[in-house]
Structure 1
């Protein structure tokens, strides 16, 4: 199993191109099941989760091709892929694939909408709480589907097709909104989604579906209306830049005291996190080309944050911000309101010498003047990159185990950081 070795103490200076968003790419790829025409996605990141989803979609009959590299193309630029589901050959998504990535469960919506049936294994993914699928299934039932659980599989049926309805989510759910959008696009009649997720990735899916011929109003707000259509067409769409990757590298720049330009980043997608960084003492400057983040000499100030659905502080940046706060000049509090059990990185950050204590859904971080390198182990995708941020300033050498978590969500992380001056190396099995 690969490891990442980091020798701390280097500031980050340079340009980091921001990849396409993983959290947008996955539902965009799944939406290809809704049509027998070709869906082309540009700026698709090269990630383990993307590769796994390709296998899952291929199992249903999706043909997949990728454009070759062009002369002079940046090796970290996203890939262009073409997906065509001319015929759905299997409406079952098996346990051995779905259990490895939670988002793959969302295939239940397009399979059901297009074929009138779906049999999908209950999902897996990061161990950050229960994250039940009850709201996703409720949305399908509101559209006329019958749902049964059989031996660990969700069996959904709508032999006469889905029909429009009112979906009122009791709490904001990104996955539920994705599922409702895809299912409603081919339903008979009008669907209204209340308390819909407002995340940029939801808007990106709505943009693709609209290009495919869906009739959607209100994406990006808490109320979305969809007039179902009989069929959807192919389309070409560019995946939006990854706001979580953007925030991660912004926090790494603030942590090391460097000066980094995040090329292609869109500040409106993570303003709450950028505001928190400025309160912590970093400088943030936005332009049409991206975001510059720097911290020259001044210390890191403690900042309290509470995670919330968009446009609030993202739960997917909580671990990274905690790493930054371990070096703050004072005490800070981070409250996690989205997922329970998402503080598993605390014990690993403590191995660097961080002082963190838990109180219910909050972590209180007493900043320390020095972190020391240590062997640490990643527990989930976002927790793993928080360890990278801490290791970048820790005195001496750190070794991060289980880096397959990083490969799921961060494209070319070592290359991007090393080009900005980090002493970071991947050690492969047997290396």
Structure 2
């Protein structure tokens, strides 16, 4: 049985099932192993890990610890209670905005590739072009924030850094919009998100794209990229202070376990706290050479769990409200036993989106597609509810095939 314990209750003889931290942020070669001596416990505590999961079938038990299933149920209940029922206003549908978003995604990827190349060659970044692009991202988000975000989840591994930069920019704009920030703040956040990883151009490509665990030296090299980013951006006349802040501090954590300076909650700005959330969310929902993408809802659940120590809980609530616990493109299971894909968020109730059902878990067969508005009662196009999210790989299904206008 898998159980969750605070690190203070870890002792030799327990079998670690999951260190409950980012794969790159702990000093062990594996996530799962038997704790054989007290020095291993001290090393785990020293890595800044607060809570972890043990496998009681392979090691000692903790009778008072909750099971993984109990923890997951509690987390989902907390998330649903935490999000606001009022989603950001959208003046167009996802289907209407998708053509504009598709063109913008292609243009944004070209521009950030050029920006990265100029920075790598020591040339001046075209800030005017960056500002224009961020303006276009803002306009798309204000029309419908889900369309561009859906397209940015579709990417190749070799384009990760480029699309990641655009995705974080779009998420930062969406985040600020949900917080009712003014247009100037939306723009500053968008620029900060677009350029937050610019310092990676100074990281050797063999480290940047390494498929396995970093050595201590390689991790130290990677952790320099926020300072490199600050140095590059400081050379630009007219760069917003917020962009400098985001580039330097997007890997800082509230418990002081982040880098490059190990700041705590008293000194990390709100913009940098927002960037930390957007950066991690996009990273863990993306396929990498060393990491398989998590479904969006699973990623939010894990980040909500981490927010007790790493992220600002109030900002996590705002972020989940902004993008939805079940974002467009998410595969969900309905109470009826059908599998559906989320096709449109509800304008007022984030937990009751429109979905398109296309598969039955009872017959294990595809069924005629049906558009369901979960905010409506039975007989009026609704009458069902989400009971959980699903991993498309489990069912060997591609949910984007069932969107009205698939990317």
Q: TM-score band (shorter)?
A: under 0.3
Tell me which of the two structures has the higher relative contact order, counting C-alpha pairs closer than 8 angstroms and 6 or more residues apart.
Answer: 1
The structure where helix makes up a greater share of residues is 2
The structure where strand makes up a greater share of residues is 1
